Amino acid sequence: MKALLIIDIQNDFVEGGSLAVPGGKAIIPLVNELQKDYSLVVATQDWHPLDHGSFAANHENQSQGDIIDLHGLQQVLWPIHCVQGTFGAQFVSSLDLTKVDKVFHKGTDYQIDSYSGFFDNGHRKDTGLGQYLKEKGVRAVDIVGLATDYCVKFSALDAVKLGFETTVIRDASRGVNLRAGDVEAAYEMMQSKGIIIM
């Protein structure tokens, strides 16, 4: 069976949000249409505590975009985003959630970020997504959402490592492109690991 993974289509990641991905809202009609083709649809949701270590505001003399060492891992500092229970953390209202079987929260530990829907950035904790998909008999995943060069990329890399045939649907994903070329580099890296770009 093939499942659709919808990554982080949340208010803070689209136009008007604190960490808006250019063109983020534009993918939603396609994501809604795609869901009809899958018997299993799963979504991930960035779900940070307010004191999260990835927020620039929680570090003295640091700015958004700076790279620091966070408990032994390289960490890009971001604006405050997707704080648990806030409007910014909610799914965008135009995203159809009626077919979503289960939502997996990530980034819940203030000490470590979680780009991937499967693990935190240090692979120290598991969200349970991989086990859930395997229990449902899933062998392949198609991935869509935000953002191509971070959460989509790392979710895809973990999916392929876990043995799922993995495809990223380019038209239904958008990237941050913090530095020019980041999105293209992400696609090249994913392809080099056996991920299909469609």
Alpha helices for 7-72 (secondary structure H): 28-34
pTM for the model stands at 0.97
Q: Give me 152's structure tokens.
A: 């989509």
Whether the per-residue pLDDT at 147 is higher than 90: the answer is: yes
- Euclidean distance between CA atoms 117 and 158, whole angstroms: 8
178 pLDDT tier (thresholds 50, 70, 90): confident
Question: pLDDT by residue (tens digit) across 41-93?
Answer: 999 999 999 999 999 999 999 999 999 999 999 999 999 999 999 999 999 99
Q: Once rounded to an integer, what is the mean pLDDT over residues 174-181? A: 94
**In sequence order, what are the residues at sequence separation of 6 or more whose Cβ sits closer than 8 angstroms to the Cβ of residue 188?**
none
Task: Give the residue with greater pLDDT, 179 vs 96.
Answer: 96
User: Which active-site residues does the annotation give?
Assistant: 8, 106, 151
Q: Once rounded to an integer, what is the mean pLDDT over residues 169-179? A: 95
